[in-house]
Chains A and B, each alone.
Chain A
Amino acid sequence: MIKLRNIDRYIDKRLQRNFILKGIDLDIEEGDFVSIMGPSGAGKSTLLNIIGFLDDANEGEYYFLDEPVHSLNERQKSEYHRSYIGFVFQAYHLIDELTVYENIEMPLLYRKVKGSQRKSMVADMLDRFNIVAKKDLFPNQLSGGQQQLVGVARALIGSPKLILADEPTGNLHSDQSKEIMETFKKLNKEDGVTIIQVTHSDEMASYGDRVINLQDGAVTENNPYEEE
């Protein structure tokens, strides 16, 4: 599904070139549940952003579903964002001016889903995450865990084939974290959704089937679990 070949991402500063990512080769198949780990500043977020078309590599090749990403135009990328890729962020990133209900509904608006259908889809999501009672609250009226549940619900409502989660549990208590991870795992197993998450916690990584270790912009250890 995802094929990265010799990816470089660097920043040119005066005479110096600072590499954030260097020579990344990576294959991720449909149905994988991958955890990216590594110290702060290693380039994990950058890698995830490149995978999610939010950032572009400076060098190298990236094939998404066998299609070269550099040949995708803005519209096609947006198309993938709407119907294929869901993002979950560490800082939740809900829209403060919208209620829980409206935040979850938003991706459907971009996909031009019909009103009645939208209603039932959002209702399903609220149900699934047990937040029906909170649907008319605004993000700042929720706890961190609840906000992240909304964030996940929003990522899932478009039934994405790929979920990219950047430290989704970074700001949460362990109970809340487990709940999110269980959700991911279930999605992965039952619906075959591909999941790539960044995490610092071995416990969270253990929900997945594969770990990629990133150090100073390079993959140092690939697939340790597979070897077991």
Chain B
Amino acid sequence: MFKNYIKIAFRNLLKNKSQTVINVGGLTLGIICAIVIFLIIQFDLSFDKWHEDPDRIYRVVRHETEFGKSVYYRGGPYPLAEAVRNDVTGIEYSTLVFNNLANEPIISYYDNGNLVKKLKESDFAFVDPDYFNILTYTWLSGNPETAIKNPNTAVVTQSFALKLFGTTDVLGKSVVFNGGTAADIEITGVVKDMPENSDFPFTFIGANSTMDRNGETAENPSWGSNSSSMQTYVKLEPGFSEEQINEQLEALIVKYRNEEVAAELDLFLQPLSEIHFDSRFSNYNGRVIEKSMLLALGIIGLFLLIAACINFINLNTAIAVSRSKEVGLRKTLGGTKSQLMLHFFGETAFITLIALVLGVGLSEIVLQNISPVLGFSPEMNLLSNVELQLFIVSIFLLVTLLAGWYPAQYLSNFNPIEAIRNKIQSNYGRGLTLRRGLIVVQFTITQVLIICTLIMASQIRYFQNQDLGFEKEAVVQVPIQNENMPILNVFKSSLLNKTTIQNVSFSNTGTTNNSVWGGNYIMIEDSIRHENSGQVKFIDENFIDTYGLTLLAGTNIQPSDTVNAYIVNQSFAKEVGYGDNLSGLIGKTTSMWGTEAPIVGVVKDFNTQSLHEGLAPVLLAPRKSFFLSAVKINTARTKEALGDIERAFNTAFPDLVFEYSFLDESIESMYEDEQRTAKIMNAFTLIAIIIGSLGLFGLVSYMSTTRTKEIGVRKVLGANLLDILKLFGTELALLTGISFVIAAPISWYLMRNWLEEFAYKIELGIGIFLLALSGILLISVLTIGYKSLRAALSNPIESLKSE
């Protein structure tokens, strides 16, 4: 019996090719989306779940109240890890994880006594021996218990060993951290690389005691200074609760600092399972995704699947008419209603199965190419991924039920005589209403996606066109780490000799960076004390020209080894009451980090961070604390200029590794998240449009074949082309209108929330909504246009002859 069903299903598929393509194609698209989204969600949810006792592992994070504002930090004071280990009961292990990202270290190794193979490595950490008792590593060689007990030891990952030495047999070899300025570090262990679903992607894990000895943490040894490059991770003893530990952490602040500080500062535990999802704190992987985003993604996937099922339902109930004879006959031959239901379910299941097989295969291809968009690449592992298998089975059941139930119910309920006589009309009451309802659902989904995508695109365009207060073009930034002025000057003058180079500037950070140097500025005038948080940049006299900042009042700074003057920005002027009198500010003194100096100039506001953040008061001051050089090049000769810079760099800094980035590209990359989201949304919107168009096309081509006779009669009776086109168009326009009315407020609400995150954002005007509406109307017209035009233009005699 079942074979018979399949046979009929198969022949029907071949007979109605366009309908098959629509059913199978649309469903396949929906299934690809569902599977890919499932794997993304599964991937994100799997982060660091696989450590031993993951529910006993925590990070100690910090909450502070600054100028009345709640701020969360992932780092703490340097001595915290040890204090937690010694003073808090219920802690089994505790470790500091130190990774100073401002200084990207260079690692080299000895070959016959010569230092070779410089390697920039940002994925490094210096930790306490407990680290390896908290996070789970697979050891290839070395002893986990003793590996980093002694100073100047480190454990490296397989890939690091291979990259540096070409072998994993590296126990006992030595490397030099930071271009020979630090002591030799012995490799005492090799571990497997962390899987991709970990927020701890370190490849070089050194003994924290090393840093003590080298004095690298001497700058921050106190309880008073916190840094996000000093994080504390703990593993609780079984049976202890988060609250029990949090109370003791509070007591630590009182003990090592005072009651006053404790009032404004909380230390508390963040579970390991939250590190990937809590956007208040960053992680070492750099990607935090809120669970609500995952939920949204899941909903989109579900909706796309539903949209695909809707095609299926609509098309199958529409063509049910042409199958009514078969249904009637089967009943007269003794087919019961349940058998017929089963039959049609069988057909649906069969089509679903084809779509699933195609969908799984194509998902694999999508996954292999998705990493440029996502920034990571979830894997399918169909054979071992039980959750995926269950998911696929559920898709199968869900789609078969969703898409099969109604057509099966509808078809099998046909009265046999009426069915045999082909009396069942295509616009058979209930079927039509349902079909319209489903089209509205589908159009609504598509329109919400279109509107959201358009809004995202215009927000991103807005970012790109926003005046940042400086010239981001033609600036190449090259990290340097050298405070030796003679060498820096040689580098600078050798560059300025080149015709490809227009200007060179040294500073601690560039104009715009995700991490800013900041503190509180104080300005006292007429015994009124202005104190607020501000940002500081240490610059040289070429900074303003190189970055194209606009000096609105006063003069540039003079070269100096210490802070002897400040240039401030408009926001600063506004905050201290000189918003309208910039030149009045010249000569006034202010202080930052305890250094008092006169204000010599005021520059136009410029964005020091991504446009998620607003403007802030900024102080620019001369001081030789340079980590970055900015080179303004002649863009007509970019390639040549880069060559010149690299040569000058290698001559001046033989120990450093040359790296560069274009300022405009680095700024662009601050919106990677938004661009990634936009790209994903684009893809989903496109798919939703394709699914919707497929469905419409199927319905209209079906309508045009079933209604050719009606059209013929109407034409004979004098209807013109427009009348006939109206027949197809009016209903569609109406359905589009209804779904727009539903979609517009939903997308408005969603996008308003999304835009909340940006300090600089577009207005949600009516224009963008109307654009979306006309877009979907255009798509619908294009989709149905051809078929309905052909039907309208057909010769009435031809269509009437067939009766």
Decide yes or no whether B1 CB sits under 8 A from chain A: yes
**A93 with B4, Cβ < 8 A, contacts A49-B417, A107-B334 known:** no
User: In B1-52, which residues have CB < 8 Å from any A CB?
Assistant: 1, 4, 7-8, 11-12, 15
Interface 9-mer from A15-23, A64-72, A75-83: A75-83
Residues of B contacting A128 in the complex (Cβ-Cβ under 8 angstroms) = none
* A117-146 at interface with B (beta carbon < 8 Å): none
Given contacts A102-B7, A110-B339, A112-B1, contact A97 B334 (CB under 8 A): no
Contact B4 A89 (CB under 8 A): no
Whether B335 and A110, one on each chain, are in contact in the complex, defined by CB atoms closer than 8 angstroms, is yes
Judge if B337 is at the interface, Cβ distance under 8 Å. Answer: yes
Main secondary structure of the interface of B (DSSP, over half): helix
A97-B15 Cα distance, complex, nearest whole Å: 9
List of A residues within 8 angstroms of B335 by Cβ = 78, 81, 110
Q: Is B655 an interface residue (CB 8 A)?
A: no
With contact pairs A93-B329, A97-B15 given, residues A111 and B7 touching in the complex (Cβ less than 8 Å) = no
Does B469 lie at the interface of the complex (its beta carbon under 8 Å from any beta carbon of A)? no
Contact of A82 with B417 at beta-carbon distance under 8 Å, contacts A97-B11, A97-B15, A106-B4 already known: no
Is B392 on the interface with A (CB-CB < 8 A)? Answer: no
Assess whether B336 is interfacial by the CB under 8 Å rule. yes
B766 within 8 A of A: no
The answer to whether residues A95 and B329 also contact, given A54-B417, A102-B7, A112-B1 and a CB cut-off of 8 A, is: yes
Give the contacting residue for B334; candidates A49, A89, A93, A111; CB below 8 A: A111
B644 within 8 A of A: no
| Interface check B123, CB cutoff 8 A | no
Q: Would you list which residues of chain B between 168 and 184 have a CB under 8 Å from chain A?
A: none
Assess whether A11 is interfacial by the CB under 8 Å rule. Answer: no
The answer to the question of B371 belonging to the interface, with a C-beta cut-off of 8 Å to chain A, is no
Check if A82 sits within 8 Å of B416, measured CB to CB. Answer: no
- Min Cβ gap A11→B in Å is 13
Q: A97-B12, A112-B1 are in contact. Are A55 and B417 (CB under 8 A)?
A: yes
Q: Is A74 an interface residue (CB 8 A)?
A: yes
> Which of B333, B334, B335, B336 counts the most chain A CB atoms within 10 A?
B333
Q: Which A residues are in CB contact (< 8 Å) with B12?
A: 97
Alpha-carbon separation in the docked complex, A57 to B25 (Å)? 47
A54 with B332: CB separation less than 8 A: yes
Report if A87 contacts B (CB, 8 A).
yes
Out of A80, A102, A111, which one reaches B4, CB within 8 Å? A102
Hey, which chain B residues are within 8 Å of A78, CB to CB?
Answer: 331, 334-336, 339
A109 at the A/B interface (Cβ < 8 Å)? yes
Minimum distance in angstroms from A87 CB to a CB of chain B: 5
Closest Cβ of chain B to A126, distance in Å, is: 18
- Contact A98 B8, CB 8 Å, known A75-B336, A79-B334, A81-B334: yes
- B 312-349 binary contact with A (CB < 8 Å = 1; else 0): 00000000000001101111111111010000000000
Cross-interface CB contact of A93 among B336, B337, B420, cutoff 8 Å? B420
Q: Is the CB of B331 within 8 A of A81?
A: yes
- Answer yes or no: A38 CB below 8 A from chain B CBs: no
Is A52 an interface residue when CB atoms closer than 8 A count as contact? yes
CB distance from B20 to the nearest CB of A (A): 13
Return chain A residues, CB-CB under 8 Å to B8.
95, 97-98
Q: Which residues of A contact B1 (CB under 8 A)?
A: 109-110, 112
In this complex, the interface size class of chain B, counting residues with CB under 8 Å from chain A, is 20 to 34
Knowing A97-B8, A97-B15, the reply to whether A110 touches B329 (Cβ < 8 A) is: no
Assembled-state Cα–Cα distance A164/B326 (Å)? 19
Chain A: interface secondary structure? helix
Q: Which residues of A contact B417 (CB under 8 A)?
A: 49, 54-55
Q: How far is the CA of A154 from the CA of B416 in the complex (A)?
A: 17
Please judge, given known A-B contacts A54-B416, A55-B417, A97-B12, whether A82 and B334 are in contact too, CB under 8 Å: yes
Q: Select from chain A the residue with minimum beta-carbon distance to B326.
A: A95
Interface 1/0 per residue, B711-745 and A, CB below 8 Å:
00000000000000000000000000000000000
A103 vs chain B, min Cβ distance (A): 9
B341 vs chain A, min Cβ distance (A): 12
Complex interface: chain A residues within 8 A of B331 (CB) = 54, 78, 81
Residues of B within 8 A of A79 (CB): 334
Given contacts A83-B334, A109-B1, contact A89 B15 (CB under 8 A): no
A33 CB to closest chain B CB (Å) equals: 21
Are A74 and B334 touching (Cβ within 8 A)?
Answer: no
Q: In the complex, A110→B2 CA distance in Å?
A: 11
User: What is the CB-to-nearest-CB distance from B327 to chain A, in angstroms, rounded to a whole number?
Assistant: 10
**With A55-B417, A93-B420, A97-B15 in contact, is A110–B337 under 8 Å at CB?**
no
Residues of B within 8 A of A97 (CB): 8, 11-12, 15, 326
B333 touches which of A55, A74, A106, A112 (Cβ 8 Å) = A106
Chain B residues lying within 8 Å of A158, measured Cβ to Cβ, are 334
Q: How far is the CA of A23 from the CA of B298 in the complex (A)?
A: 64
Q: Do B337 and A107 touch across chains, with their CB atoms under 8 A apart? A: no
Chain A residues within an 8 Å CB radius of B336: 74-75, 78
Check B333–A82 contact: CB distance below 8 A.
yes
Smallest CB-CB separation from A52: which chain B residue?
B332
The answer to whether B15 and A93 touch across the interface, beta carbons within 8 angstroms, is no
Whole-angstrom CA separation of A112 from B331 in the bound complex = 15
Cα separation A97 to B329 with both chains bound (whole Å): 13
- How far does the alpha carbon of A207 sit from the alpha carbon of B287 in the complex, in Å? 87
Minimum CB–CB distance from A112 to chain B (whole Å) comes to 7
Pairs across A and B, CB under 8 Å, 30 listed: A52-B332, A54-B331, A54-B332, A54-B417, A74-B336, A74-B337, A75-B336, A78-B334, A78-B335, A78-B339, A79-B334, A80-B334, A81-B332, A81-B333, A81-B334, A81-B335, A82-B334, A93-B328, A93-B329, A95-B325, A95-B329, A97-B15, A98-B7, A106-B333, A107-B334, A109-B1, A109-B4, A110-B333, A110-B339, A158-B334
4 closest pairs, A vs B, by CB? Answer: A82-B334, A81-B334, A78-B336, A97-B11
Write the residues of chain A forming the contact surface with B, with a CB cutoff of 8 angstroms. 49, 52, 54-55, 74-75, 78-83, 87, 89, 93, 95, 97-98, 102, 105-107, 109-112, 154, 158
Q: B residues within 8 Å of A by Cβ?
A: 1, 4, 7-8, 11-12, 15, 325-326, 328-337, 339, 416-417, 420
Please name 17 further chain A to chain B contacts, defined as beta carbons within 8 Å, in addition to the given A82-B334, A112-B1, sorted by A numbering. A54-B417, A78-B336, A81-B334, A83-B334, A93-B325, A93-B328, A93-B420, A95-B325, A95-B326, A97-B15, A97-B326, A98-B7, A106-B333, A107-B333, A110-B330, A110-B334, A154-B333
